Amino acid sequence: MTSLALQLALHGSIVLLSGLVGGLFFARAITMHRGEVAWRVVHAGGSSAGAMLLAIAAPSQWVALGASLKITMAVSLIAGTYILCLGMYIAAIWDTRGIPGGRSPLNRAVYGLYALGAVMTLFGGALLTVGLIRKAFESAVT
C-alpha cells in the first residue's frame, strides 16, 4: 500500500466515523421530532463520503500522474471531504441550510463550505480519473 492510499484510507475512516457519530444525533433528533433532515444529511453524507475515500484508496495506487499532481489529488479529495462534512455539521447544529441567497452570515458560511468542498472534491475526482485513464492507455500500449 502506498502512502497516498494509506492517507486516503485513514481519512476515509475518520470521515466515516464522523458520519456514524452523526447517526447518534440523528437518532436523538428523531425522538425529539426536531432537525431530523439535517442530521440525516450528516449521517448519510458523512458515511458515504468516508466510504468514498476508502474506495478511492485502492485505485489511487494505479494513477499515472506526477508526484505533485498525486499530492494535489489527495489534498483535494481529503480536504474537500472534510470541508463538506464541516458544512453539514454546522448546518445541523445551528439549524441552517446553506442555500444560496440566505441572509444570515451562518447560512452564507455553510453555503461557502459546501461550494468549496464540492469544487475541491470534483477537482480531485477529475485528477483521479485522468490518472487512471493515462494508466489504462499505458497498460494497453505495453
User: The domain containing residue 119 runs over which residues?
Assistant: 3-137
CA 121 – CA 54 distance, rounded (Å): 14
Is 65 domain-assigned? yes
Is 117 domain-assigned? yes
Is 32 domain-assigned? yes
The three cell numbers of residue 125 are: 475526482
Is 94 domain-assigned? yes
Chain segment 30-86, per-residue pLDDT in tens: 999 999 999 999 999 999 999 999 999 999 999 999 999 999 999 999 999 999 999
- The dihedral over CA atoms of 109, 110, 115, 119, expressed in degrees to the nearest 10, equals 100
Chain segment 122-142, per-residue pLDDT in tens: 999 999 999 999 999 999 987
- Find out whether 61 and 108 touch, Cβ atoms under 8 Å: no
